């Protein structure tokens, strides 16, 4: 119910306008500059950049590469995540609780570490490659290019759909299944005709998330793609090219990426609106202990997936403890790589913490305020704020990086090269997720709690700080940990924005891998993974949850 | 310090659609006043307009002649009790109750004293330092009540405060609420859809339907002399039948059936016409003589104190009849009976307007 009494034109209107202005400055302005750069050349309106892109095979093939990767990754994730979630819901699996946690941790580790790990194992000089050719004289298939990207991104993104599906499976009431069984639907027919149709909205939502991530991912194709270039890689290369970057051209490619993302986003929204229904289960599906071949296959599937997802990253951690001579690993163990990491890249650890924590502070603050006004003060302005804050969801990191650099390249907003611009990037990229989770918390708080405070004479701000915020706090803290984990593994925007003074660990790992300093890269990766795992363990401990929603 | 509340031609619109159009009402100082009606009738909307959570699109609401329309809830000096209690889960019982007092910058020892006193009044002193989540629904509702009245508000507003409690607790709590209200003497506006609860607690009741007040009166008045068919149906159970008024030998008679007619001496102005008659189940008696309306028992339901019968009249109409239960089996379906009507208690309504023809206690002598 809309409440418009005299008291409603209150402090919250001021806060809403303030945040809107901020967004106009740090997001809308750069995106407009990006658009302007893409369609102007030498001061005149021209579509030459677009013509150039679609005119040369070298350029437009990246568009097909990107679509190929994105569609393949989305399908592959779906094909593996669906049975995984189904098995985890309906089967009794040994060590399920720990498996859940491991699946989540595997998804939160920085994606390019996965790429790096697969290079270490299956690359030209990889251990598995060498082992197979030395012992069995088998030449392994090439990991570089499309296949490598597909493997790494799929393994990375399966948990995203998996988490969506687990939530949906939990909301299917067991009586629906029993009703279907009583009408003769059993086994595969039951799954295909009864359960899967109920999962359609979830599958769509999860697929969209995976699609966006795969489309926007920069680190994986950059490291393992080699000749197989995707759009984000092309944007980066064109923008930073040593032969004088071409900002206008990079901007034009960025516009193309955003158009693709927007199209898919709207398409998904359209289909979901037509197909959506809500469920809640009084009696969720119970797990059953199976026996025989079914049981063995189920365990094989789950453990097999997890081994593929985690072992490569563990191998990276293992190599961090190997002795190195120059750039090559030699026999024996030592902590030299860590020593080198601290002396050469110690400042990247410091930067990760300072930039990350400052960004985290603003993410939480702004997310809480936006979530509050969009839930409790619904009107045209707060709706607008809601939409603007979701824009970064469809703008890939590299595009945002280019936009920010173009937008803040000149006075009075000369920010390029500063820590501020990186913090801005972190904040706007993470906000959509944190706003969603904070809004979900506010939805759970009855409005009458705030009315009770008002009826007792408390002002709006007092009510917020004394009542609403303390009630939100547990949810906000767990949301903050997830934000923290994603912020520290951010690569695609910061790699465009960083300078020596703002280089973070992810950029450190990336540059060391490119230079071939595998020992240092492994040590830094190990530290980053350790921070991630510890943060997530704190999250699980704090919330008592076994799942994460991004 | 309690106040009178006046509604003068109050209008409420949602998105330009009027839900209350021009409602007027006066609530007396210190009165326990209930807004009663089916869900969607506008009673909660009206209550929230008094509280200031809903805007007023026309007319005015005054507390003791002071217009409240533009005053925010924070400044109306009201106490409100919500359907879901709205207890602050992050504060202890004591701090919940002290929340409003602290906001008023009242000295610490006075807060302590007033909180202790009010916790005694609502009988939850032993939970003073507990967190709300450990308390039952009834106890939480007592905290909500204490939190509202400790502020010594001008007006106490309660929005279906008992509807989340189980049946037995609901009865206990309504006794407690009534007692406490009388003790502190605050003008109270209470919203409920439960007519029995309304009768149990209220000094006066306004029955509402579709944003319009149907009748204002004491519980006895609205039960015994409902202003119209809606009220008569909504309060308690009743049978509505259509019958004719006739003039026979200068007497006013109501033709119940060809063999049973009732003399209605007090009505003069309604000569001959068809009217609607409301007869509550307990206003029938099953006759042991040959006088009365002929009917056949359809079902019986034994309910302890009473037996409910469904009786089919000779014209095919079904009516509900309640009889005090007696030893032995109730009358079996198929039994032919004669029904007598307690003519002082029944209500007669104009056919078109459905308004009550009788005025006040015209038969009560």
B145 and B131 Cβ atoms separated by less than 8 Å: no
- Exposed (0-12), middle (13-18) or buried (19+): which is B270, by Cβ within 10 Å? middle
- For A451, which of B53, B70, B147 is closest by C-beta distance? B53
- Exposed (0-12), middle (13-18) or buried (19+): which is B9, by Cβ within 10 Å? exposed
Q: Do B104 and A457 touch (CB under 8 A)?
A: yes
Which residues on chain B place their C-beta less than 8 Å from a C-beta of chain A? 14-15, 51-55, 70-80, 82-84, 86-90, 99-100, 103-104, 144, 147-148, 151, 157
Provide the pLDDT confidence category of residue B268 given band limits of 50, 70 and 90.
low
A7 to chain B, minimum CA–CA distance in Å? Answer: 5
Chain B contacts in chain A segment 460-489 (CB below 8 A) = 462, 466-467, 470-471
Nearest CA in chain B to A465: B90
- Give whole-number Cα distances, A394 to A50, A109, A266, B22, in Å: 20, 22, 10, 50
**Which residue of B17, B50, B53 to mutate against A (max A Cβ within 10 Å)?**
B53
- Quote the pLDDT of residue A1: 37
- The predicted-structure confidence for A39-57, as pLDDT tens digits, reads as follows 887 777 888 888 888 888 8
- Quote the pLDDT of residue B360: 60
Q: Compute the half-sphere exposure of residue B281: CA atoms within 13 Å on the CB side of its CA.
A: 17
Contact list, A467 vs chain B (CB under 8 Å): 88, 90
Q: Do B86 and A5 touch (CB under 8 A)?
A: no
Selection from B97, B161, B86, B96 nearest residue A445 by Cα: B86
**How far apart are the C-alpha atoms of A465 and A229, rounded to whole Å?**
50
Residue B16, SS3 per DSSP:
coil
Contact list, A455 vs chain B (CB under 8 Å): 51, 73-74, 76, 78-80, 148, 157
A122 and A321 Cβ atoms separated by less than 8 Å: no
User: Across-strand partners of A333?
Assistant: A322
Contact list, B70 vs chain A (CB under 8 Å): 5-6
- Quote the pLDDT of residue A350: 92
Q: Do B53 and A7 touch (CB under 8 A)?
A: no
**How far apart are the C-alpha atoms of A232 and A253, rounded to whole Å?**
9
- Section A166-185 average pLDDT: 81
- Section A105-109 average pLDDT: 81
**Which residue of A11, A453, A455, A475 to mutate against B (max B Cβ within 10 Å)?**
A455
Residue A391, SS3 per DSSP:
helix
Provide the pLDDT confidence category of residue A64 given band limits of 50, 70 and 90.
very high
- The predicted-structure confidence for B238-265, as pLDDT tens digits, reads as follows 999 999 888 887 788 888 888 888 888 7
Domain range for A304 is 47-311
Tokens of B287: 């006759």
- The predicted-structure confidence for A150-163, as pLDDT tens digits, reads as follows 999 999 999 988 98
| Residue at A245 is within a domain | yes
- In the DSSP assignment, the letter for residue B251 is E
Fold of the domain spanning B237-350: OB fold (Dihydrolipoamide Acetyltransferase, E2P) (2.40.50)
Tokens of B292: 């009365």
A120 and A126 Cβ atoms separated by less than 8 Å: yes
- Exposed (0-12), middle (13-18) or buried (19+): which is A36, by Cβ within 10 Å? middle
**How far apart are the C-alpha atoms of A245 and A234, rounded to whole Å?**
11
- For B82, which of A1, A6, A448 is closest by C-beta distance? A448
- For A448, which of B76, B78, B86 is closest by C-beta distance? B86
- Section B95-103 average pLDDT: 90
- For A471, which of B80, B90, B151 is closest by C-beta distance? B90
Q: What does the DSSP assignment read for A135-164?
A: II-PPPPP-TTHHHHHHHHHHHHHHHHHHH
- For B84, which of A1, A448, A462 is closest by C-beta distance? A448
Pairing of strands B155-159, B187-192: parallel
In chain B, ranges of CATH 2.40.50.140 domains = 237-350
A355 and A504 Cβ atoms separated by less than 8 Å: yes
**Which residue of B99, B146, B161, B186 to mutate against A (max A Cβ within 10 Å)?**
B99
Which of B70-79, B123-132, B166-175, B293-302 has the weakest average pLDDT?
B166-175
Q: Which residues of B314-348 are buried (b: 16+ CB within 10 A; e: fewer)?
A: eeeeebbbbbeeeeeebbeeeeebbbbbebeebbb
Structural domains counted in chain A: 1
| Residue at A353 is within a domain | no
Q: Is A453 on the interface with B (CB under 8 A)?
A: yes
Nearest CA in chain B to A472: B90
Q: Which helix (H) or strand (E) holds B286?
A: strand B284-286
| Residue at A88 is within a domain | yes
- In the DSSP assignment, the letter for residue B28 is -
| Residue at A446 is within a domain | no
| Residue at A322 is within a domain | no
Largest CA distance in chain B: 80
| CATH code for position A270 | 1.10.3720.10
CATH 2.60.120.10 matches B5-232: no
Contact list, B15 vs chain A (CB under 8 Å): 2
In chain B, ranges of CATH 3.40.50.300 domains = 5-232
Specify the length of chain B in residues. 365
């Amino acid at each position: 119910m809309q409440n418009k009494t005299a008291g409603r034109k209150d402090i919250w209107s001021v806060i809403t306008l303030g945040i809107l202005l901020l967004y106009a400055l740090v997001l809308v302005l750069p995106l407009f500059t990006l658009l302007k750069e893409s369609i102007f050349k030498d001061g005149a309106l021209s579509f030459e950049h677009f013509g150039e892109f679609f005119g040369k095979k070298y350029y437009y093939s990246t568009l097909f590469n990107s679509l190929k990767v994105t569609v393949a990754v989305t399908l592959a994730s779906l094909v593996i995540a669906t049975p995984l979630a189904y098995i985890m819901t309906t089967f009794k699996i040994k060590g399920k609780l720990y498996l859940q946690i491991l699946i989540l941790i595997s998804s939160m580790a920085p994606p390019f570490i996965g790429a790096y790990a697969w290079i270490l194992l299956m690359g030209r000089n990889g251990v598995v490659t060498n082992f197979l050719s030395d012992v069995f004289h088998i030449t392994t298939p090439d990991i570089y290019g499309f296949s490598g990207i597909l493997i790494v991104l799929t393994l990375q993104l399966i948990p995203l759909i998996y988490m969506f599906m687990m939530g949906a499976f939990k909301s299917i009431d067991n009586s629906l299944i029993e009703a279907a069984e009583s009408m003769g639907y059993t086994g595969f027919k039951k799954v295909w005709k009864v359960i899967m149709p109920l999962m359609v909205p979830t599958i769509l939502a999860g697929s969209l998330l995976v699609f966006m991530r795969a489309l926007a991912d920069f680190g994986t194709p950059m490291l393992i793609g080699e000749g197989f270039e995707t759009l984000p890689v092309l944007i980066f290369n064109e923008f930073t090219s040593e032969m004088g970057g071409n900002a206008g051209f990079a901007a034009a490619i960025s516009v193309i990426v955003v158009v693709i993302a927007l199209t898919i986003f709207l398409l998904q929204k359209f289909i979901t609106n037509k197909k959506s229904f809500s469920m809640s289960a009084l009696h969720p599906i119970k797990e059953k202990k199976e026996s025989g071949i079914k049981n063995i296959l189920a365990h094989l599937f789950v453990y097999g997936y997890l081994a593929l997802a985690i072992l490569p990253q563990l191998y990276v951690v293992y190599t961090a403890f190997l002795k190195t001579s120059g750039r090559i690993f030699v026999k024996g163990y030592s902590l030299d790589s860590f020593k080198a990491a601290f002396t050469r890249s110690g400042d990247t650890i410091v930067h990760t913490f300072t930039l990350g924590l400052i960004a985290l502070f603003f993410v939480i603050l702004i997310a809480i305020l936006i979530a509050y006004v969009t839930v409790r003060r619904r009107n045209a302005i707060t709706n607008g704020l809601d939409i603007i804050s979701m824009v970064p969801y469809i703008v890939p990191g590299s595009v945002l990086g280019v936009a920010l650099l173009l937008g803040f390249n000149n006075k009075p907003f000369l920010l390029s090269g500063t820590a501020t611009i990186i913090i801005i990037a972190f904040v706007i990229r993470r906000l959509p997720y944190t706003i969603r989770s904070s809004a979900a918390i506010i939805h759970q708080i009855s409005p009458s709690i705030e009315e009770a405070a008002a009826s007792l004479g408390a002002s709006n701000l007092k009510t917020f700080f004394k009542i609403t915020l303390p009630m939100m706090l547990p949810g906000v803290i767990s949301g903050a940990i997830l934000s923290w984990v994603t912020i520290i593994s951010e690569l695609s925007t910061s790699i465009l924005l960083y300078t020596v003074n703002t280089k973070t660990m992810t950029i450190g790992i990336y540059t060391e891998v490119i230079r071939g300093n595998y020992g240092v890269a492994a040590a830094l990766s190990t530290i980053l993974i350790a921070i991630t795992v510890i943060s997530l363990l704190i999250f699980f401990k704090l919330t008592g949850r076994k799942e994460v929603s991004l | 310090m309690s106040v009178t509340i006046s509604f003068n031609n109050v209008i409420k619109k949602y998105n330009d659609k009027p839900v209350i159009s021009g409602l007027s009402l006066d609530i007396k100082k210190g009165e326990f006043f209930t807004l009663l009606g089916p869900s969607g009738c506008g009673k909660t909307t009206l209550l929230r307009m008094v509280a200031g959570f809903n805007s007023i699109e026309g007319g005015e609401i005054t507390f003791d002649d002071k217009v409240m329309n533009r005053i925010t809830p924070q400044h109306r000096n009201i106490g409100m009790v919500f359907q879901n209690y709205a207890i602050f889960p992050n504060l202890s019982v004591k701090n919940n109750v002290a929340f409003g007092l602290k906001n008023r910058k009242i000295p610490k020892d006075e807060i302590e004293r007033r909180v202790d006193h009010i916790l005694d009044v609502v009988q939850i002193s032993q939970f003073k330092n507990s967190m709300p989540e450990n308390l039952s629904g009834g106890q939480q509702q007592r905290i909500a009540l204490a939190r509202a009245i400790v502020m010594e508000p001008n007006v106490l507003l309660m929005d279906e405060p008992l509807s989340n409690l189980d049946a037995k607790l609901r009865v206990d709590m309504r006794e407690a609420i009534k007692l406490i209200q009388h003790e502190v003497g605050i003008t109270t506006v209470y919203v409920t859809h439960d007519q029995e609860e309304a009768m149990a607690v209220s000094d006066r009741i306004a029955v509402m339907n579709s944003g319009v007040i149907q009748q204002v009166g004491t519980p006895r008045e609205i039960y015994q002399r409902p202003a119209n068919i809606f009220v008569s149906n909504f309060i308690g159970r009743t049978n509505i039948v259509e019958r004719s008024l006739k003039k026979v030998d200068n007497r006013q008679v109501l033709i119940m059936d060809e063999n049973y007619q009732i003399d209605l001496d007090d009505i003069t102005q309604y000569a001959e016409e068809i009217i609607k008659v409301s007869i509550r189940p307990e206003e029938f008696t099953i006759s042991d003589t040959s006088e009365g309306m002929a009917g056949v028992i359809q079902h019986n339901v034994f309910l302890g104190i009473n037996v409910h019968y469904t009786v089919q009249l000779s014209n095919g109409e079904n009516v509900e009849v309640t009889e005090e239960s007696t030893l032995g089996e109730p009358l079996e379906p198929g039994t032919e009976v004669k029904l007598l009507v307690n003519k002082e208690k029944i209500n007669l309504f104009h056919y078109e307007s459905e308004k009550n023809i009788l005025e006040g206690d015209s038969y009560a002598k």
